[in-house]
Chain A
Amino acid sequence: MTLAILLPLVGIFSHYEISASFEFSNYTSSIIFFTIYQSLLSALLSIIAGSLLAFLLNTYNNFYIVKIIAQSQSIIFVLPTIITVFGILSFYGNYFEIYGLTGILIGHVILNTPLVGRIIYQSLSEISPNEKMLSRQMGLRKISSFLASEWPIVKKIIPSLFVLVTFICFVSFTPVLILGGGPKYSTLEVSIYYSVIFSNDFNAALNLLFFQLIICFSIYFIFFKNFKSQNFLIDDKRHIKAYFDLTLLNLLGLLILLIITLIIFSPILFIIVKGMNRELFNILTYTYLWEAIYNTLVICFFSGIISILVAYNLLVLAHKKTKASESFIYSLIIFSPAVMAVGYYILSFKLNLLYFPNIIIVIILNSFFVLPFAYNYLAPSFFRVIKENDDISNSLNLYGFSRFLIIDFPGLKKSLITAFCVSSILSASDLVVISFFGTNNLSTLTQTIYRLMGSYRINEAYSVSLILLIFCFIYFFLAHKILEKNTWNIH
């Protein structure tokens, strides 16, 4: 794991000449401040919107439609950024002065709210029915019931989510460039990309990267020190019907839920409207589409498997008080994707790995890049389940894999499936790795969308986006159906 991060840097460092000069222009320093400001603010807003969304989804989850929204919201997060950004421009471009800080914030909130919402929702839906019943029997009002049962859980996940979203916004590229409207609003990542790719200036890139690391680790330590897992118990999964009365408060809640959903689903609406064009049926006959679907499926599936395996093992390490493993996971985001990909490229060249089938390299690199997300989707349930089961597994003398299969797996299954789905699809949305290691015969749906746009074929690009959307829905649906039904009878 550590190697995965350090190896590409070895590749880069082989091109590095030690120089102590840390000369930053005025421009760079203003970008550093803006990046910190923008990413903290984006994270804060995304967390607020995401928690609200998760809370409302959890409150009204006895409606079937709400369940579907809850399951499918992650898809927004994994759509190609450019499509999401186009959707944002179309929906909000006419009403706001969108370019600038406003645009960046709107973009980041729309991109990250589903991520936050999904992870918090996952944890909230695991609140014990007994606990809910208890608070109802005690006649707690909504707010006190929230404070008693939901808030402790939300409070526990927020620091890690905050760090995650801050880092995502910190290295944000396309949304910041397009919605920022000019170089005044930019990120360090853009400067790093320019240094690495265009001016071949590795020294400059690494200096900027060091700075990025220092800032991000400071953020990590400031917001993370309170991250302690608390103990709360869970009972058998008896479902109790949340009661729903037609009160003003409930209606208001549903209304807010509707509004947030519409806002975060607007890019999806955009794709549906734009994708239903005359090219849609034409492209179904093209081989490139089916090749891309096949490659996407292969990359999705294997990256998903690898990343949850690694994420799970990292969680086990983190549980054994090896906090270092946790900070490494987060550093995967802030190590600039451009630098990482270039580093891997140099390395694979030096080690003659380019003779390796490219799809294997793409799968392995992608499963590393999506680790922070797999980790975050798994962490809340993991720490809860492990805590609960520690005594029983100790008394039964069960450790390692057998403990996982017999004791922990049943409680973790749901989160594992979600983490698998999200990291799968997220690997498919990658553009950096595939454009360095992809060949003609190896292109994914996301890459096809960009390729089509690069050849004037915007309508085809919209249609492929719609197909990617459908692909994601089917993938989520099948994964849940197949994996959830399969009740591994090991007891």
Chain B
Amino acid sequence: MLAEANMKNKILSLFFILVTISTASAKEVLVIGTYDSFSAEWGPGPIVEAEFEKICECDIQYISTSQAGTLANEIFLKDKDVILGVEMHEFDYSSENWNIYDYGYFSFIYNSETLNKIPSSFEELINQEDLKVVVQDPRTSPVGMGLLRWMKLTHPNNFPTILKEFNNKVLTYTPGWSEAYGIFLEGKADLVLSYSTSPFYHQEYEDEYKYKAIEFAGGHLVTKEIVYVRPDSEQQKLGREFVEFMVRDDIQKIIAQMNIMYPAIENVNNIPDKMRKLKKPKEIQYDDFLEADPLIKTWLEVASS
């Protein structure tokens, strides 16, 4: 009995020590919710953290998720001060303090050594024989959702028809970008839905030039990544500083270099050479964001029949 009470005391004191350790640090803490390819050791996160901590006298903590979509899910955002990496279509603009820190164009990537005939529009793509495409499931991946928006915007009148024919070319819909890109790199598909900057990674880090992005004459959908301060965060001032910091020239350069996206505020200094040499596709212009649910509904009807 005595031993048991003793044990309880030990556990309790251990618990309090842990709590004290986590609350006792003197510096202000800025908790940033982000996705884990940003915060990973090889991503831009660690450098961004080190640079910001030089000027802020604070401690940055990344809480990163690998589950796509969680950055737009209110539940996961509650205890964070800043959210970094939410896609512009998923952002509700309830915060006043936000910035776009990078952007890219959805595009199909191919291997120029194995694919000879390159489609230059959705129409050519669906009419080309023996073409195998791998894309992401719009229910689980923002990239897959991007494709639906892209097709709807370029084909407002015959969206279901074109989607149905496109679906015939699709080998499979993967849960996320990683699986799709992996299947493509394994040589199991001719085209993969990704970003027009994807070839930059292979050129810069692997010295590999065979992967190329397709340019569609009808234009491409732009995707922008947003960093914002959560309105109910207690670190408004620090958060605002961080949001501004993300578009500082040297940080923009790091983002472009390591996040493989175009810098939001681009100039000759902050865009890597090889990225500048890539051709930017034509951007489609539109006024209203398309809601996700109706598009998914159409997709389910078309693709599951």
Contact = CB atoms under 8 A, between A and B. Distances in A.
Interface of A: 25, 27, 30, 82, 85-86, 89-90, 93, 99, 173-174, 177-184, 186, 190-191, 193-194, 197-200, 286-288, 342, 345-346, 349, 354-357, 431-432, 435-436, 438-440, 443, 447, 450-458, 461
B170 A182 contact: yes
Interface size class, chain B: 35 or more
Nearest to A449: B178
Interface in B118-145: 137, 139-140
Contacts of A356: 18
A85 B182 CA distance: 11
A431 B182 contact: no
A439 B64 CA distance: 6
A454 B299 contact: no
Interface string B38-79: 011111010000000000000001111111111011111011
10 contacts: A177-B172, A199-B293, A200-B75, A288-B41, A345-B76, A435-B67, A453-B179, A454-B177, A455-B42, A455-B43
Contacts of B299: 183
A458 B182 contact: yes
Contacts of A30: 304
Given A93-B188, A198-B69, A457-B42, A27 B300 contact: yes
A358 B195 CA distance: 34
B186 A89 contact: yes
B173 interface: yes
Given A197-B73, A200-B74, A345-B76, A181 B172 contact: yes
A72 B303 CA distance: 40
Contacts of A27: 300-301, 304
A382 to B, nearest CB: 28
B300 A90 contact: no
A396 to B, nearest CB: 26
A198 B179 CA distance: 19
Interface of B: 18-19, 22-23, 35-37, 39-43, 45, 61-70, 72-76, 78-79, 137, 139-140, 167, 170-179, 181-183, 185-186, 188, 198, 201-202, 205, 260, 292-293, 296, 299-301, 303-305
B35 to A, nearest CB: 8
Contact of B183 (A86, A184, A357, A454): A86
Contacts of A286: 41
A481 B218 CA distance: 64
A182 B140 contact: no
A200 B78 CA distance: 14
Given A439-B63, A440-B64, A458-B185, A177 B137 contact: yes
Contacts of B183: 86, 89, 178
A258 to B, nearest CB: 27
A418 to B, nearest CB: 30
4 nearest interchain CB pairs? Answer: A453-B178, A194-B139, A184-B304, A288-B41
Contacts of A438: 64
A349 B79 contact: yes
A456 B260 contact: yes
Nearest to A179: B172
B245 to A, nearest CB: 19
Given A193-B140, A456-B181, A182 B23 contact: no
A355 B23 CA distance: 9
A283 to B, nearest CB: 10
